[in-house]
């Protein structure tokens, strides 16, 4: 192996990003890549051979130098001399820490981002190698990369390669497809011994470009980064070409009558109906967020005769079943079955799934095994409708669905040319409850207060609603922002983050169909809703004699009727989920304080305030808390104040509109102006769990208005 210049790190990052950005090459966060080369040891000034390898976690498509672990190659390879054997190979992962180069990361924060390390960094900086960076934790696959005597190594999980890896005669298929250029490694759990096996095959077969790992994926290598990438792609595309040319057209069998896809609108409507029920079932052990897809490949799989048997076999690639569990829950009713029948059957299947999962755990658990983590499914398949994935957050739920789609592609490929034969159930358990996997879970940061909760905020395009949505998302919630102003609410959602965190919907709270559609968006995006903030509002300030019936009706339509309609839909979803929840009304000081020129607004706010008490009394037995917040004079960012209310109130009080916020502040006990963020903080306090036994309460957020004290 010829030494590589440190700039090989930049090539490694570029190669990783190219391979990882194409899901035909590897799944999200799956696989790893590496490069070997020399750099100057800051402690000795002498050249040292290093291994740069993608660390544990992260995704190849977005890998940066900070995601690499950097190890001394001599020390890593010296571990073969102290290797205690396959029965104790897990001990070798801890030994990787003793092979790290410095802190195990690239050198120099600015240069590292450009893949520049070691002596080259010194040349550019002119004052030495720069401060050490702490690298990513070495993964279980580190031995594979370090022990194979090639300058560049890729380990990937392509669907086409795993189809060969899970075919009952995969070794023969590999030989037929690739001849001697691609080897076959029998199933072995990832670890040090697998690295030794691959290294020996590479040493004994100089003409090989890589191997297919039974039940797992592929590994390829090359003398240069370009050659390694080309060899990886040759295996991936060669396997896919073989499947296309030799495979059966309908590898999943004939279509089952009644199990084909419903029309698009009908299956989305059924998904909206089922999502809250499924989310509640999947959250029996711990709260989950949902993800729905009606990908054509999923619908076709569920329409075919082989899908029940194949789904029961479960997935094979460790990256797959660690996220999807060993098998999905599969509904065994036709697509157009009555909703009540479907709901009842899903409850039965869920109970059976939990019993089956517990049996799986008890069959293979030893006294040293970690406790069972939860018996609920991560994937639910509904013929004619699609796939529902569940996880601790939206990204986890979405990725679980993506991984099961990978598994469907793998099963299709294997069945097209052979028989799908995943790794044994006992081996799946050894990985799912592997102490090394448990250690990964322990390293995860503590969940935020609102993790796994889904919030819907009305009037979220500006002011209090926008600030509330922003705060809830910052505390871990997935948020649906609803507002009649489509442009404003789209901007507000984009400001918060990607669709895994926040989605927007144009909604009018005076329209029942619009409200139902908004909750439908929440169901399809996140599985349901368990935190609703009734914030949409408007106000018209007029003396009684000048207040028209239209003024009265408008404010009651938006405030009183609108919040009633939103709360009714929220209750329907929350009752279907069976997970409890929170409904928070953004009421007003004016609900309890009588001021001049304010009869329509004050009466509508008083209506909202009593809705809080009425709904708290009705919904408490279901674990649904209903509380209110009484803000006052939230001028900044307010759509209400900027829409005319500010000018009207300024005229009532005889102050310039620009000074209205300061005027309101001076009449309070604390002499402080109330901002949207103050109201958002109150919403968070009410819903974060510390006040879990509080319902029917109104909290003033008004900087102290004695006339509005609750009595």
Instruction: State the DSSP H helix or E strand holding residue 457, giving kind and residue range, or none if neither.
Output: strand 454-458
State yes or no: pLDDT of 273 exceeds 90: yes
- Amino acid 132: pLDDT: 58
Claim to verify: residue 661 and residue 594 sit in the same structural domain: yes
Claim to verify: residue 178 and residue 283 sit in the same structural domain: no
Point out the catalytic residue in the list 585, 601, 653, 664.
Answer: 601
At 114, the pLDDT band (50, 70, 90 cuts) reads: very low
Model pLDDT for residues 504-531, shown as the tens digit of each residue: 999 999 999 999 999 999 999 999 999 9
Model pLDDT for residues 339-385, shown as the tens digit of each residue: 999 999 999 999 999 999 999 999 999 999 999 999 999 999 999 99
132-146, 540-554, 567-581 — which is least confidently predicted?
Answer: 132-146
Determine the structural domain holding residue 175 and report its residue range: 8-246
Average pLDDT score over the chain: 92
State yes or no: pLDDT of 115 exceeds 50: no
Model pLDDT for residues 408-419, shown as the tens digit of each residue: 999 999 999 999
Q: Which position has the higher pLDDT, 562 or 119?
A: 562
Claim to verify: residue 598 and residue 678 sit in the same structural domain: yes
Distance of alpha carbon 368 from alpha carbon 373, whole angstroms = 14
| CATH at 343 | 3.40.225.10
- Amino acid 515: pLDDT: 98
134-143, 579-588, 676-685 — which is least confidently predicted?
Answer: 134-143
Q: Kindly state whether residue 253 falls inside one of the protein's structural domains.
A: no
- Amino acid 235: pLDDT: 98
Beta bridge partners of 480: 456, 503
At 131, the pLDDT band (50, 70, 90 cuts) reads: low
Distance of CA 78 to the CA centre of its chain: 39
Q: What is the DSSP letter of 372?
A: P
Claim to verify: residue 82 and residue 200 sit in the same structural domain: yes
Q: Kindly state whether residue 341 falls inside one of the protein's structural domains.
A: yes
Distances (CA, A) of 354 to 60, 179, 304, 336: 34, 45, 26, 26
Distance of alpha carbon 271 from alpha carbon 386, whole angstroms = 8
- Amino acid 102: pLDDT: 86
Q: Kindly state whether residue 2 falls inside one of the protein's structural domains.
A: no
- Amino acid 119: pLDDT: 32
Claim to verify: residue 458 and residue 433 sit in the same structural domain: no
33-47, 93-107, 199-213 — which is least confidently predicted?
Answer: 93-107
Cβ contacts of 219-223, under 8 Å, gap ≥ 24: 219/144, 219/148, 219/153, 219/154, 219/155, 219/156, 220/153, 220/154, 220/156, 221/148, 221/150, 221/152, 221/153, 221/154, 222/150, 222/151, 222/152, 223/1, 223/2, 223/150, 223/151, 223/152
Claim to verify: residue 684 and residue 566 sit in the same structural domain: yes
- Amino acid 113: pLDDT: 36
Q: Kindly state whether residue 315 falls inside one of the protein's structural domains.
A: yes
Could you say which of 392, 419, 443 is where a domain stops?
A: 443
Q: Kindly state whether residue 433 falls inside one of the protein's structural domains.
A: yes
In this prediction the pTM is 0.92
Claim to verify: residue 195 and residue 277 sit in the same structural domain: no
Q: Kindly state whether residue 251 falls inside one of the protein's structural domains.
A: no
Q: Kindly state whether residue 1 falls inside one of the protein's structural domains.
A: no
Model pLDDT for residues 247-271, shown as the tens digit of each residue: 998 899 999 999 999 999 999 999 9
| CATH at 659 | 3.40.50.720
Claim to verify: residue 69 and residue 162 sit in the same structural domain: yes
Could you say which of 393, 409, 443 is where a domain stops?
A: 443
Distance of alpha carbon 20 from alpha carbon 31, whole angstroms = 9
Claim to verify: residue 461 and residue 377 sit in the same structural domain: no
Max alpha carbon distance in the chain (Å)? 97
**Mean pLDDT across the stretch 56-65?**
90
- Amino acid 111: pLDDT: 34
State yes or no: pLDDT of 646 exceeds 80: no
Could you say which of 189, 216, 246 is where a domain stops?
A: 246
Claim to verify: residue 681 and residue 616 sit in the same structural domain: yes
Claim to verify: residue 58 and residue 186 sit in the same structural domain: yes
Q: Kindly state whether residue 282 falls inside one of the protein's structural domains.
A: yes
Distances (CA, A) of 604 to 550, 560, 610: 14, 6, 10
From the list 172, 153, 151, the residue with the least C-alpha distance to 210 is 153
Q: Domain count for the chain, please give it.
A: 3
Model pLDDT for residues 663-688, shown as the tens digit of each residue: 889 989 999 999 999 999 999 999 99
Residue 49: strand, helix, or coil: strand
Would residue 259 show up in a list of annotated catalytic residues for this protein?
A: no
- Amino acid 438: pLDDT: 82
Claim to verify: residue 20 and residue 109 sit in the same structural domain: yes
């Amino acid at each position: 192996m010829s030494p590589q210049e440190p700039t090989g790190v930049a090539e490694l990052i570029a190669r990783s990003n190219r391979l990882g950005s194409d899901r035909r090459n590897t799944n999200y966060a799956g696989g790893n890549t590496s490069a070997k080369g020399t750099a100057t040891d800051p402690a000795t000034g002498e050249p040292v051979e290093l291994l740069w390898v993608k660390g544990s976690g992260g995704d190849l498509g977005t890998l940066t130098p900070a995601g690499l672990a950097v190890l001394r190659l001599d020390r890593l390879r010296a571990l073969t001399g102290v290797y205690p054997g396959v029965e104790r190979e897990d001990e070798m992962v801890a030994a990787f820490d003793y092979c790290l180069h410095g802190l195990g990361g690239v050198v120099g924060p600015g240069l590292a981002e450009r893949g520049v390390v070691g002596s080259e960094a010194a040349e550019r900086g002119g004052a030495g190698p720069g401060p050490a960076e702490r690298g990513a934790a070495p993964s279980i696959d580190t031995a594979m990369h370090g022990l194979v005597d090639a300058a560049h190594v890729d380990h990937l999980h392509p669907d086409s390669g795993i189809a060969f890896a899970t075919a009952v005669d995969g070794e023969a298929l590999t030989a037929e497809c690739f001849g001697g250029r691609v080897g076959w490694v029998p199933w072995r759990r990832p670890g040090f011994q697998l690295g030794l096996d691959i290294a020996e095959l590479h040493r004994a077969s100089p003409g090989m470009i890589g191997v297919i790992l039974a039940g797992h994926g592929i590994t390829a290598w090359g003398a240069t980064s370009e050659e390694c990438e080309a060899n990886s792609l040759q295996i991936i595309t060669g396997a896919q070409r073989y499947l296309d040319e030799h495979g059966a057209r309908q590898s999943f069998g004939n279509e089952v009558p009644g199990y084909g896809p419903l029309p698009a609108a009908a299956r989305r409507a059924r998904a909206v109906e089922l999502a809250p029920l499924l989310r509640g079932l999947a959250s029996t052990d711990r709260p989950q967020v949902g993800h729905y897809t009606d990908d054509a490949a999923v619908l076709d799989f569920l329409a075919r005769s082989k899908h029940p048997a194949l789904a029961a076999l479960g997935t094979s690639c460790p990256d797959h079943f660690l996220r999807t569990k060993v098998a999905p829950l599969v509904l065994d009713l036709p697509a157009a079955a009555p909703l009540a029948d479907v709901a009842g059957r899903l409850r039965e299947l869920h109970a059976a799934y939990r019993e089956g999962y517990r049996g799986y755990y008890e069959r293979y658990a030893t006294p040293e095994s970690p406790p069972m983590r939860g018996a609920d499914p991560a994937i639910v398949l509904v013929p004619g409708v699609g796939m529902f994935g569940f996880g601790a957050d939206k990204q986890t739920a979405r990725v679980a669905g993506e991984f099961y789609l990978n598994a469907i592609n793998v099963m299709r490929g294997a069945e097209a040319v052979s028989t799908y034969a995943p790794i044994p159930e006992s081996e799946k358990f050894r990985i799912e409850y592997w102490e090394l996997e448990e250690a990964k879970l322990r390293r995860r940061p503590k969940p935020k207060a609102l993790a796994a909760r889904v919030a819907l905020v009305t009037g979220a395009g500006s002011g209090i609603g926008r600030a509330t949505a922003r705060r809830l998302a910052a505390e871990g919630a997935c948020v649906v922002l609803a507002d009649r102003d489509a442009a404003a609410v789209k901007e507000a959602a984009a400001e918060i983050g990607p669709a895994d965190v926040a989605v927007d919907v144009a909604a009018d709270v005076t329209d029942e169909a619009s409200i139902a559609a908004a909750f439908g968006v929440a169901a399809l995006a996140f599985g349901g809703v368990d935190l609703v903030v009734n914030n949409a509002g408007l106000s018209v300030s007029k003396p009684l004699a000048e207040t028209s019936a239209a003024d009265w009706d408008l404010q009651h339509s938006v405030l009183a009727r609108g919040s009633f309609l939103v709360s009714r839909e929220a209750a329907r979803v929350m009752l279907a989920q069976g997970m409890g929840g929170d409904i928070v009304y953004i009421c007003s000081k004016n609900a309890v304080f009588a001021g001049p020129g304010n009869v329509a607004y004050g009466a509508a706010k008083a209506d909202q305030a009593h809705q809080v008490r009425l709904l708290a009394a009705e919904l408490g037995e279901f674990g649904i808390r209903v509380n209110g917040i009484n803000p006052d004079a939230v001028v900044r960012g307010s759509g209400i104040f900027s829409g005319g209310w500010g000018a009207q109130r300024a005229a009532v009080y005889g102050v310039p509109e620009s000074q209205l916020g300061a005027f309101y502040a001076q009449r309070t006990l604390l002499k402080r102006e109330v901002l949207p963020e103050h109201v958002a903080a109150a919403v968070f306090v009410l819903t974060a769990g510390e006040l879990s036994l509080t319902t029917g309460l109104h909290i003033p957020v008004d900087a102290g208005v004695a006339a509005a004290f609750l009595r």
